[in-house]
Chains A and B, each alone.
Chain A
């Protein structure tokens, strides 16, 4: 069992947890992810390793409550344990010194951007971040990002903080100004697609981190297959980072909707059960 060591609410429905997983912590690098399963009846879901502490044998994850599993995870408390944690998973491209890197993080995508930005900085790059969210309250890890990057720009959909609008509004001028050697974009699929569209016009190589649906996370099922440059790739072992200019985003978005009905049902049932038994404690 993998014990929860610390928990913090970063924003409404966005939580951060440190979990004990010594083997994973020892090997984890920025960009890696894990597959977790809460309990015997749970499903396996992927979450990025947002930070790691090999000494304490712990890893950190930041997650948004999207559906049944993430909501249930959000109800777990310090001292509770996850049934399973598998990792670190994914293929890692070690950070290189390329000059300036523009990191674009949307929503909870800021969490996986953070360790990447930090290490890109450590190897000697200038790192400029653009962080977007729906509103000011949903901005997360502001302090961490500001420490890790040379510059952070903010955008909110409702204008409650920073630029009023989308991250892609800021991109053209930042690209002209900073002349980045590379763009790294992590966030919702429409955001990553839009970023890739802009950077293609400027010919800036762009890495995106795909959140395809997964089951095993080891290359065994093919649920996570995506088309990149016309070829079938498995996100869990060949990715999750791919060349954003080559990814078939429409296919990814469509495949992510595959179980929308079942997901709704699972969440609804979870809410009914929770309401039905108020006395029950979680975990």
Chain B
């Protein structure tokens, strides 16, 4: 009986140390500090090494959890890292941002006692240890900018002639950053392993977790991979959405350098559909394309006053701060203005990130406004707790009906309406219904709208024949990444709608495997025909 086994060991889950809430609410440094070696060892020792691996069944990419924990227990952290990386290309990131509480840790045998093994914390420990060992630990990475290779406009249309040598060693083992920035000399020019005609070229559109994961696996399989990214720095939501205090950019930079070290080229400033069409990518010599453009289109409420000055979409707010570093204005040129009182509308991770960011930019009071109750909040539990500890106020069962402006066109208040939970909807969540006459006004100077994102329609609109749902999600064959166009695959948020980092990464990995099969079959077919 598994439950008896649980009884044998003392519970006592090791909690990860965090920065003091009073301190951290005013700085952008990482909130969770990571486990010490002793803590990691103690936590690893609690694992029961269950034969039936319930934790693994909760992991969307099937990380061999008991196995890596055993390696950790035996003191072989390097082996633990290898085991994780078999399934997860981005462990330092997933260890920080995955909703483990609804995935692996929820299924952990110890969860029955409310003390699941801190799998996420251990994953993070292993990934950080590996980076540290490689001398990449806390040394500040290059700016996001250094990580990408600027589009020089695709001066040469042959992807292979610019292809970079694949390296046998992982970047993590390389102390320096040399050779990884765009214009470094070892790029493009006659890289030894880049023999022509060796393996086909594959284009990846979008450099979020789905794109990065697919690119890494394809490069490992020997393909010549170019990622095209519309922004000036790679990473997708990990770059422009998730704040520094939850995912330091140097961690992201490290993962991106690793992907580049596998031979993946990243060309920034290329908006596929505008800078180059999908069709032209095939003309440039790419034999397959993976679309991983995410769900980046911000939704607005459609209430009066939404265009007043001081109203931001969460995407604008977070992009200004994370990508453009407006929190360092005027050292950096991009401005942001945060009032003394800020309301953030929404109940997901995006809302928590926006609220906690507003606090760090000096807001005195930050209110999160959500129209359902706490139980329905889609944000990670840990992030809701962090937000509360930092002093964020929650207005639950409250629905915004109007944003009020002053005579100069700036926000001065948010009119809210009290809601009640009614009948469950099709997803089983009880539908909020307004209470008539219950309006009240919250005095705020800034409003951040974080009610969700949809897919950006630009690529679909500019690609004849690429089938999408009426909401703009790219349609793929069931259980596959194959779109309506031959050689074109898609995955991540652009297919599923806004989801999670690990699902996007898993979709990228699955697509890479499928693209590999597709290109092999194509080669065999053409060999057979010729």
Interface 0/1 of A163-177, CB less than 8 Å to B = 000000000000000
A2 to B269, CA, bound (A): 11
Known contacts: A24-B275, A88-B274, A215-B319. The answer to whether A222 contacts B300 by CB under 8 A is yes
Residues of B within 8 A of A1 (CB): 150, 152, 183
Instruction: Tell me if B275 and A257 are in contact (CB < 8 A).
Output: no
A269 to B232, CA, bound (A): 25
B 314-352 contacts with A by CB, 8 A:
315-316, 319-320, 324-325, 329-335, 337
Cross-chain contact of A251 among B231, B271, B307, B310 (Cβ < 8 A): B307
Point out the residues of chain A lying under 8 angstroms from B100, CB to CB.
Answer: none
- Within the complex, the shortest CB–CB distance from A162 to chain B, in Å, comes to 35
Residue of B nearest to A258 (CB): B309
Taking a contact as CB atoms closer than 8 A, the residue among A37, A40, A68, A221 that contacts B313 in the complex is A221
**Residue B296 CB within 8 A of the other chain:** yes
- B298 CB-CB contact with A under 8 Å: yes
State whether B296 touches A262 (Cβ < 8 A).
no
Are A86 and B269 within 8 A (Cβ)?
A: yes
A263 to B337, CA, bound (A): 12
A43 within 8 A of B: yes
**A232→B275 CA distance, assembly (Å):** 25
How many interface contacts (CB-CB < 8 Å) are there between A and B?
Answer: 143
Q: A43 to B310, alpha carbons, bound, how many Å?
A: 19
Contact check, B269 vs A57: say whether CB atoms are below 8 A apart. Answer: no
Interface flag for B297 (CB, 8 Å)? yes
List A residues 76-94 near B (Cβ within 8 Å): 83-89
B230 at the interface (CB under 8 A from A): yes
User: Which residues on A sit within 8 Å (CB–CB) of B308?
Assistant: 254
Q: Which of A87, A88, A223, A227 has the most CB of B within 10 A?
A: A223
Contacts of A254 in B (CB 8 A): 308-309, 408-409
Q: Given contacts A1-B183, A22-B153, A84-B268, is CB(A215)–CB(B275) below 8 Å?
A: no
Contact of A215 with B333 at beta-carbon distance under 8 Å, contacts A23-B270, A40-B145, A257-B409 already known = no
Instruction: List residues 386-426 of chain B with CB under 8 A from any CB of chain A.
Output: 408-409
Q: Closest approach, in angstroms, between the C-beta of B406 and any C-beta of chain A? A: 11
| B155 CB within 8 Å of chain A | yes
Does A209 touch B at the CB level, under 8 Å?
no
Give Cα A26–Cα B297 distance, bound, in whole angstroms.
27
Q: How far is the CA of A218 from the CA of B323 in the complex (A)?
A: 14
Please report whether the interface of chain B is mostly helix, strand, loop or mixed according to DSSP.
Answer: loop
Q: Which residues of A contact B329 (CB under 8 A)?
A: 262, 266
In the complex the two chains form, is B335's CB within 8 Å of A263's CB? yes
**Number of residues on chain B facing chain A (CB within 8 A):** 50
Q: Does A220 contact B (CB under 8 A)?
A: yes
**Given A218-B456, A259-B335, A21 and B153 touching (CB < 8 A)?**
yes
Instruction: Name the residue of chain A whose CB is nearest to the CB of B308.
Output: A254
Indicate if B39 sits at the interface (CB-CB under 8 A): no
**Which of B143, B153, B408, B456 has most chain A Cβ within 10 Å?**
B153
Which of A25, A255, A262 is close to B153, meaning CB atoms less than 8 Å apart? A25
Write out, one digit per residue, whether chain A residues 32-44 have a CB within 8 A of any chain B CB (1) or not (0).
0000010011111
Q: Which residues of A contact B269 (CB under 8 A)?
A: 84-86
Closest to A90 in B: B274
Q: List, in ascending order, chain B residues with CB within 8 A of A25's CB.
A: 153
- A contact residues around B302 at 8 Å (CB): 232
3 tightest Cβ-Cβ pairs between the two chains A and B: A22-B153, A262-B335, A23-B153
Q: Which residues from chain B sit less than 8 Å from chain A, CB to CB?
A: 143, 145, 150-155, 183, 230-232, 268-271, 274-276, 296-298, 300, 302, 306-310, 312-313, 315-316, 319-320, 324-325, 329-335, 337, 408-409, 456-458
Instruction: Enumerate 12 A-B pairs (CB-CB under 8 Å) in ascending A order.
Output: A2-B152, A20-B153, A22-B154, A23-B270, A24-B275, A25-B153, A44-B334, A218-B230, A222-B298, A259-B335, A263-B335, A266-B330
